[in-house]
Chain A
Amino acid sequence: MSPAAAGRTVRPVSIASFAQAQNVRRDDVHNEVEGLLPVIEEVFSTIGITKDDVDFICSGSTDYLIGGPFSFVMALDAVGVWPPRAESHVEMDGAWALYEAWVLLQEGKADAALVYSFGRSSLGDLGEILTLQLDPYYLAPLGPDIVSLSALQARALIDAGKASEADFAAIASRSRRDALGNPKAQVRQDVAVEVLLADDYVVSPLRRHALPPITDGAAAIVLAAGDKATRWSERPVWITGIDHRSETHSLGARDLTTSPSTASAAAMAGLGAGPVDLAEIHAPFAHQEIILKEALGLDDAVAVNPSGGALAANPLMSAGLIRIGEAANRIASGGADRAVAHATSGPCLQQNLVCVLEGA
């Protein structure tokens, strides 16, 4: 929220339910709608509701994964919006769809909302596809791919004395090991740092383990306010603050070793009001976790990405929404009282969303 409106009373909104597809390297069997259907079904059935119990629907996806226009149009058929429903879509990660839905719940226009996102990253060449996110006149024609740009960022971090290649490997090792406890994760492995450091570089200083896997996936969350929040959850997980900020697009104009947009979003979301037990950080590349941890002001006592994070499964357009769902699940099960979830978009962490969650 803006400083001017910071005095506003926040309407308590809970993460009432979360579901995600099995994250896989390539789903050749299901199209987008078929992949979404069981996720939508699960997110409702887990709390014993149906689509008739939500009064707003918002989704996040991008046409560039399927390679055709309007991919969200058919995906909506996985929900079955008959009779017609209030519904919207952002061409962004599902975390921003959740933000749009949260705004409607703040306004009182809705008391419960379905949020979902989907994407099959395996269908095309992600390196080429994500290059199309860049300035179409001055940058995209040069063809820098996302791994090379992230490698520049990692190199800047090393040059600044903030991290080493061994740190990247340690983050990857921890993420893959933590993912052993997450049956939905894609890369689950107990592997030592030394073994990972023996990998070849993909683009120096990034070795294979410092890159996210290519993942097909989908996720869904039900948001609830008022009676529904307390009726649908034994221990409601409340969103106590949520905000998102962008940085400039021009990489040359940014200090790539910091994430000021994450820091300001965290401040606006009220992260600093108390300690957190865990953080689910959307850091597709290992070194980005270091930058984001610093921006969020997290010390080493905070458990980072106990789900395995984006290094264990990175379904484009869903990986941010999944961070919010994973953090909420830890609180709902009593494993944490206060948590922060983060989502990112764009090259080298250009745009960031921070969501603070608390148990009742």
Chain B
Amino acid sequence: MAERCAVIGVGQTHHKAKRDDVSIAGLVREAAKMALEDADLTWSDIDAVVIGKAPDMFEGNMMPELYLAPALGAVGKPILRVHTAGSVGGSTALVAAHLISAGIHRRVLTVAYEKQSDSDAMWALSVPQPFAAPLLAGAGGYFAPIIRAYMRRSGAPDHIGRMVAVKDRLNALRNPYAHLHLADIDLQMVEESIMLWDPLRYLEACPSSDGAAAMVLSSEDAVSGHYPPAWVHGSAMRSEPTMFAGRDQVNPQAGRDCAADVYAQAGITDPRSQIDVAEIYVPFSWYEPMWLENLGFCELGDGWKLTESGATAFDGDIPWNTSGGVLSSNPIGASGMLRFLEVAMQVRGQAGEHQIDGARLALGQAYGGGSQFFSMWVVGSDKP
């Protein structure tokens, strides 16, 4: 029978375009040590390590769990390396949570990172492969037509994407770890930024960051740390095929199924009223209204209306991406874990300037690939 799983420590680096002050090992240790200190533990208290990141060729280091084992205190211990595309940071946390829930370990350190300045992620994503449709210029080129399809279906006006771009950057001003701190961000600044992949302008796209995230997860009998734990109320992963004509890439079935699964575990029947705060993977501005619909926060076609009404803003009734989101920090492999980590911080009451008062139940979501990979968790301040 499944054991309860708690988040008892969180840590993250200062995310930046280039962290050339640290090696890859230094980067992951910065986040891991912070998580251990938050949990009031040391390396020797950890039973196992689960590490995740996006493609190895982003840094040119194959299967980096081998090189990083000593840096992460994993010598003599189990270390697993997860890779599920952009959702990997979330999936990595879930694999760690399963080790606790299954009763196999009592304390697991989970770490995700990317040091994107070691390469050029946009082109590393775009290596031509035989018999595969070319991705052209990175993820933005892939997602732009899907966003156009959403705009046509929903009748959303052009300015919605720009609103998201501004809102998430305003939230980032509250988060000292965020990569982008654009003090004078406004709609006009977004509108005047260069068009990259129509309809996406430069400021509607995520940055390319160096950064890492880490969490310490524990069983109920091993809870420690400086803040009350965040309890895992539900977790789920879903994948759907890449080459399948029946896919709806605007509103993927895998995302809907994953949400239904995680809501059922957490007893959520009305996400908008029951979830206090959500961190959702929005690497391009328009994915906020798209995921609002996919995650059941509103009826199909109404996502942009929620964004437009300010419901997802910091002072709205369903604050989304209080950390500043992927639009403000994007170390790809860690981006999913940062979503999971932010909601744990919220229900633990440790989010400082970006804390939502009274946050008790929160949703973290990550997606990857061409939106065919999803991972989610719901965490709460009460025991499930």
Of A86, A132, A260, which one neighbours B60 at CB under 8 angstroms?
A132
Q: Which residues of the other chain, B, contact A96 by a CB distance below 8 angstroms?
A: 80-81
Which of B341-372 touch A at CB < 8 Å? Answer: 369, 372
Contact A72 B242 (CB under 8 A): no
Which of A86-129 touch B at CB < 8 Å? Answer: 86-92, 96, 99-100, 103-104, 106-109, 129
Which of A166-185 touch B at CB < 8 Å? Answer: none
Of A4, A77, A134, which one neighbours B67 at CB under 8 angstroms?
A134
Let me know if B181 is at the binding interface, CB within 8 A. Answer: no
* Given A69-B124, A106-B103, residue A261 in contact with residue B239 (CB < 8 A): no
Q: Which residues of the other chain, A, contact B154 by a CB distance below 8 angstroms?
A: none
Contact A133 B104 (CB under 8 A): no
| Distance, CA A69 to CA B122, complexed state (A) | 11
Of B76, B102, B129, B239, which one neighbours A103 at CB under 8 angstroms?
B102
Of A77, A345, A347, A350, which one neighbours B243 at CB under 8 angstroms?
A77
Q: Which residues of the other chain, B, contact A80 by a CB distance below 8 angstroms?
A: 241
Number of chain B residues whose Cβ lies closer than 8 Å to a Cβ of chain A: 73
Of A85, A103, A107, A351, which one neighbours B66 at CB under 8 angstroms?
A351
Q: Give the interface segment out of B91-99, B166-174, B313-321.
A: B91-99
Q: Which residues of the other chain, A, contact B264 by a CB distance below 8 angstroms?
A: none
| Distance, CA A136 to CA B101, complexed state (A) | 35
| Distance, CA A309 to CA B59, complexed state (A) | 33
B82 CB, min distance to chain A CBs, angstroms: 6
| Distance, CA A87 to CA B243, complexed state (A) | 16
Of B56, B79, B91, B257, which one neighbours A88 at CB under 8 angstroms?
B91
Q: Mark A53-73, 1 if CB is under 8 A from B, else 0.
A: 000010000111011111011
Q: Mark A235-252, 1 if CB is under 8 A from B, else 0.
A: 000000001111111100
Q: Which residues of the other chain, A, contact B136 by a CB distance below 8 angstroms?
A: none
Of A5, A247, A249, A250, which one neighbours B103 at CB under 8 angstroms?
A5
Q: Which residues of the other chain, A, contact B105 by a CB distance below 8 angstroms?
A: 1-2, 4-5
Q: Mark A1-29, 1 if CB is under 8 A from B, else 0.
A: 11011001000000000000000000000
Q: Mark B19-30, 1 if CB is under 8 A from A, else 0.
A: 000011000000
B138 CB, min distance to chain A CBs, angstroms: 11
Let me know if A275 is at the binding interface, CB within 8 A. Answer: no
Contact B66 A77 (CB under 8 A): no
Of A31, A86, A140, A261, which one neighbours B130 at CB under 8 angstroms?
A31
Contact B60 A67 (CB under 8 A): no
Let me know if A83 is at the binding interface, CB within 8 A. Answer: yes
Contact B69 A247 (CB under 8 A): yes
Let me know if A186 is at the binding interface, CB within 8 A. Answer: no
B270 CB, min distance to chain A CBs, angstroms: 23
Q: Which residues of the other chain, A, contact B132 by a CB distance below 8 angstroms?
A: 74
Let me know if B302 is at the binding interface, CB within 8 A. Answer: no
Q: Mark B68-99, 1 if CB is under 8 A from A, else 0.
A: 11100011111111111100000100110011
Contact A249 B70 (CB under 8 A): yes
| Distance, CA A246 to CA B84, complexed state (A) | 22
Number of chain A residues whose Cβ lies closer than 8 Å to a Cβ of chain B: 67
Contact B127 A67 (CB under 8 A): yes
Which of B81, B101, B102, B236 has the largest count of A CB atoms less than 10 A from its CB? B102
Let me know if A202 is at the binding interface, CB within 8 A. Answer: no
* Given A69-B57, A69-B127, A246-B76, residue A74 in contact with residue B85 (CB < 8 A): no
* Given A66-B129, A88-B95, A132-B62, residue A100 in contact with residue B80 (CB < 8 A): yes
Q: Which residues of the other chain, B, contact A108 by a CB distance below 8 angstroms?
A: 1-2
Q: Which residues of the other chain, B, contact A31 by a CB distance below 8 angstroms?
A: 130-131
Let me know if A194 is at the binding interface, CB within 8 A. Answer: no
Of B56, B60, B130, B237, which one neighbours A87 at CB under 8 angstroms?
B237
| Distance, CA A140 to CA B59, complexed state (A) | 13
Q: Which residues of the other chain, B, contact A66 by a CB distance below 8 angstroms?
A: 129
Contact A246 B257 (CB under 8 A): no
Of all chain B residues, which has the CB nearest A3?
B47
Contact A133 B66 (CB under 8 A): yes
Let me know if B254 is at the binding interface, CB within 8 A. Answer: yes
Contact A133 B62 (CB under 8 A): yes
Contact A70 B85 (CB under 8 A): yes
| Distance, CA A246 to CA B69, complexed state (A) | 7
Of B98, B244, B372, which one neighbours A104 at CB under 8 angstroms?
B98
| Distance, CA A8 to CA B100, complexed state (A) | 12
* Given A84-B253, A89-B82, residue A63 in contact with residue B56 (CB < 8 A): yes
Q: Which residues of the other chain, A, contact B373 by a CB distance below 8 angstroms?
A: 87
Let me know if B61 is at the binding interface, CB within 8 A. Answer: yes
| Distance, CA A4 to CA B132, complexed state (A) | 48
A99 CB, min distance to chain B CBs, angstroms: 7
Of A107, A133, A249, A264, which one neighbours B98 at CB under 8 angstroms?
A107
Q: Which residues of the other chain, B, contact A85 by a CB distance below 8 angstroms?
A: 238-240
| Distance, CA A57 to CA B91, complexed state (A) | 13
Of all chain A residues, which has the CB nearest B235?
A109
Q: Mark A286-319, 1 if CB is under 8 A from B, else 0.
A: 0000000000000000000000000000000000
Of B48, B68, B91, B244, which one neighbours A82 at CB under 8 angstroms?
B244
Q: Which residues of the other chain, A, contact B79 by a CB distance below 8 angstroms?
A: 246, 351
Let me know if B106 is at the binding interface, CB within 8 A. Answer: yes
Q: Mark A343-360, 1 if CB is under 8 A from B, else 0.
A: 001110011000000000
Contact A107 B78 (CB under 8 A): no
B132 CB, min distance to chain A CBs, angstroms: 7
Let me know if A130 is at the binding interface, CB within 8 A. Answer: yes
A52 CB, min distance to chain B CBs, angstroms: 15
Let me know if B185 is at the binding interface, CB within 8 A. Answer: no
Q: Which residues of the other chain, A, contact B246 by a CB distance below 8 angstroms?
A: 82
Let me know if A135 is at the binding interface, CB within 8 A. Answer: yes
Let me know if A76 is at the binding interface, CB within 8 A. Answer: yes
Let me know if B194 is at the binding interface, CB within 8 A. Answer: no
Contact surface of A with B, Cβ cutoff 8 Å: 1-2, 4-5, 8, 31, 57, 62-64, 66-70, 72-74, 76-77, 80-92, 96, 99-100, 103-104, 106-109, 129-130, 132-137, 140, 243-250, 260-261, 264, 345-347, 350-351
Q: What 4 A-B pairs have minimum CB-CB distances, sorted nearest first?
A: A69-B55, A84-B254, A87-B239, A107-B102
Q: A91-B63, A346-B63, A347-B66 are in contact. List 6 more A-B contacts (CB 8 A).
A: A2-B47, A81-B239, A84-B238, A88-B82, A109-B101, A249-B67
